[in-house]
């Protein structure tokens, strides 16, 4: 219905086989409706699945709104193969599991009291009331199992026009949950929509409220932004860029994205490349980010490795030349591609042609396979344990430093020396 750049075949498939025709979803709706007159609407799809369906996007999560309480939902599915688990009983939410299938069901509700992080809710059977407590008009579009739309906030028109609007009073919506500011940025980037000055002013006045939000929730939302195919467009809207920079002052190098645009397809970028590009310098900027947002060990290790190899690259002109095979073996191609991009983005003296040559070299490099393993050493009389691991590492270093070659005689010599 709305074109967001997906190919023609995907659109046709979405039109002929819409998600709501799924057999398991039909069963869920039949169960929910059971014993209730057919003219009373018991359940509708809502949120991201509807928005993505209407914009021909890939649907990841299914959310269903219902007039039923969580106890009533559990009763409906107690004699089925569908497992119902509590995921947010206080807010009327349960999750239905069946094989790899997952659906979240939430009772219609209205917010009675909010503090910028959490809400005290009251359940209702009024669909319009439920829509009024949601964040944006494009997330308050409902769809029944037959594909009929219920749109009390005129979200379909805003979706068609790529207009991201708070429902009702923006000030009130933001005060209910300050994370909505970051979600607003995500949807603005996703739909390539400009930030109106009036909305921008309201957001800036409420930025302090983000301090109330847990760092974990903020990081999750940030990573969703970095995963957007068109994240590189963030610099095109000065208001959007300013707000993003005010929320994430650690991202000192948004201007580097302009260099990335020249050499990389948006869809090929990943969060490791973007985090490295936006954070890493010769100081400790990325370390502060990791500490502030309590990032995972994996993210920490990735950024540490990029920083370490960036410093080596700057002092070793052979890093991408004579030492390339060795560095591919030690670090992997994806890491070196990210490093090449980082170095290019922060160094205006590096030409596109030079970047491309290195990029192609990395892709074409064949990674050698270390020919010795623990089983081989055990057959030579070594016992499993740290000692065996140390010998294996010694052999690997010797093999690597000798242009990935090692003679049988040298292997036997090293083994014999360590056995004695």
Q: Residue 63: which residues within 8 A CB-CB, separation 6 or more?
A: 45, 46, 47, 48, 49, 103, 104, 105, 106
Q: How confident is the model at residue 6 (pLDDT cuts 50, 70, 90)?
A: very low
Please report which helix (H) or strand (E) contains residue 94, including its range. strand 93-98
pLDDT at residue 12 above 70?
A: no
Q: Average pLDDT in the 321-336 region? A: 93
Tokens coding 196:
């109106």
- Looking up tokens 């290790």 gives 301
What's residue 300's pLDDT?
95
Q: For the chain, where do the domains classified as CATH 1.10.110.30 start and end?
A: 169-249
Residue 26 is classified by DSSP as H
% of the chain beyond a pLDDT of 70: 93
- Summarised one tens digit per residue, pLDDT across range 394-411 is 999 999 999 999 999 999
For the entire predicted model, the pTM comes to 0.85
Q: Average pLDDT in the 310-320 region? A: 91
Q: 298, exposed or middle or buried, with CB in 10 Å at 0-12, 13-18, 19+?
A: exposed
Taking residue 145's Cβ as centre, other Cβ atoms within 10 Å add up to 20
What's residue 119's pLDDT?
63
Contact call for residues 322 and 329 (beta carbons, < 8 A): no
Q: Which CATH architecture has domain 169-249?
A: Orthogonal Bundle (1.10)
Contact call for residues 175 and 202 (beta carbons, < 8 A): no
Residue 235 is classified by DSSP as G
Contact call for residues 51 and 163 (beta carbons, < 8 A): no
- Summarised one tens digit per residue, pLDDT across range 104-113 is 999 999 877 6
- Summarised one tens digit per residue, pLDDT across range 251-298 is 999 999 999 988 876 556 888 899 999 999 888 899 999 999 999 999
What's residue 183's pLDDT?
97
Name the packing angle between helices 271-279 and 256-263 (round to 10°). Answer: 140
Q: For the chain, where do the domains classified as CATH 3.30.460.10 start and end?
A: 1-166
CATH superfamily of 1-166: Beta Polymerase, domain 2 (3.30.460.10)
Torsion sign over Cα 362, 363, 368, 369: positive
Q: Residue 293: which residues within 8 A CB-CB, separation 6 or more?
A: 215, 216, 218, 219, 222
Q: Average pLDDT in the 128-156 region? A: 96
- Looking up tokens 């750049």 gives 5
Contact call for residues 395 and 412 (beta carbons, < 8 A): no
Q: Average pLDDT in the 134-147 region? A: 96
Q: How confident is the model at residue 195 (pLDDT cuts 50, 70, 90)?
A: confident
Alpha helix stretches (DSSP H) within 77-118: none
Rounded to whole angstroms, how far apart are CA atoms 52 and 54? 5
Please name every residue paired with 43 in a beta bridge, in sequence order, or none if there are none: 66
Q: Residue 233: which residues within 8 A CB-CB, separation 6 or more?
A: 189, 192
% of the chain beyond a pLDDT of 90: 70
- Summarised one tens digit per residue, pLDDT across range 115-131 is 656 667 789 999 999 99
């Amino acid at each position: 219905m709305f074109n967001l750049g997906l190919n023609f075949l995907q659109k046709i498939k979405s039109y002929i086989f819409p998600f709501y025709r799924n057999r398991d979803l039909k069963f869920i709706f039949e169960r929910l409706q059971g014993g209730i007159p057919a003219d009373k609407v018991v359940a509708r799809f809502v949120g991201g699945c509807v928005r993505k369906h209407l914009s021909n996007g890939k649907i990841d999560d299914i959310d269903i709104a219902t007039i039923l309480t969580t106890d009533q939902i559990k009763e409906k599915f107690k004699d089925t193969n569908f497992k119902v688990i509590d995921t947010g009983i206080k807010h009327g939410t349960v999750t239905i599991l069946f094989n790899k299938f997952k659906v979240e069901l939430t009772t219609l509700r209205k917010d009675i009291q909010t503090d910028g992080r959490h809400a005290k809710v009251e359940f209702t059977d009024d669909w319009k009331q439920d829509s009024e407590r949601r964040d944006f008009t494009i997330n308050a579009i409902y769809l029944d199992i037959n594909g009929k739309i219920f749109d009390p906030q005129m979200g379909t028109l805003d979706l068609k026009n790529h207009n991201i609007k708070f429902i009702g009073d923006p000030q009130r919506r933001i005060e209910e949950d300050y994370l909505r500011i970051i979600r607003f940025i995500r949807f603005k980037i996703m739909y390539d929509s400009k930030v109106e000055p009036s909305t921008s002013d309201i957001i800036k006045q409420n930025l302090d409220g983000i301090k109330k939000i847990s760092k974990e929730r903020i990081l999750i939302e940030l990573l969703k932004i970095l995963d957007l195919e068109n994240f590189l467009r963030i610099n095109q809207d000065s208001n959007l860029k300013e707000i993003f920079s005010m929320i994430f002052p650690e991202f000192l190098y948004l201007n580097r994205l302009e260099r990335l645009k020249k050499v990389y397809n948006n869809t090929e970028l990943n969060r490791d490349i973007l985090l490295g590009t936006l954070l890493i310098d010769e100081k400790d900027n990325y370390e502060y980010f990791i500490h502030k947002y309590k990032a995972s060990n994996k993210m920490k290790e990735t950024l540490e490795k990029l920083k370490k190899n960036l410093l080596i690259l700057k002092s070793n002109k052979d890093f991408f030349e004579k030492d390339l095979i060795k560095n591919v073996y030690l670090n992997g191609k994806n890491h070196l591609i990210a490093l090449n991009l980082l170095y290019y983005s922060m160094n205006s003296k590096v030409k596109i042609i030079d970047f491309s040559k290195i990029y192609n070299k990395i892709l074409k490099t064949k990674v050698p396979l270390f020919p010795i393993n623990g089983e081989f050493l055990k057959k030579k009389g070594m016992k499993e344990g740290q000692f065996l691991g140390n010998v294996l590492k010694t052999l690997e270093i010797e093999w690597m430093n000798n242009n990935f070659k090692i003679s049988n005689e040298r292997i036997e010599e090293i083994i014999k020396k360590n056995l004695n």
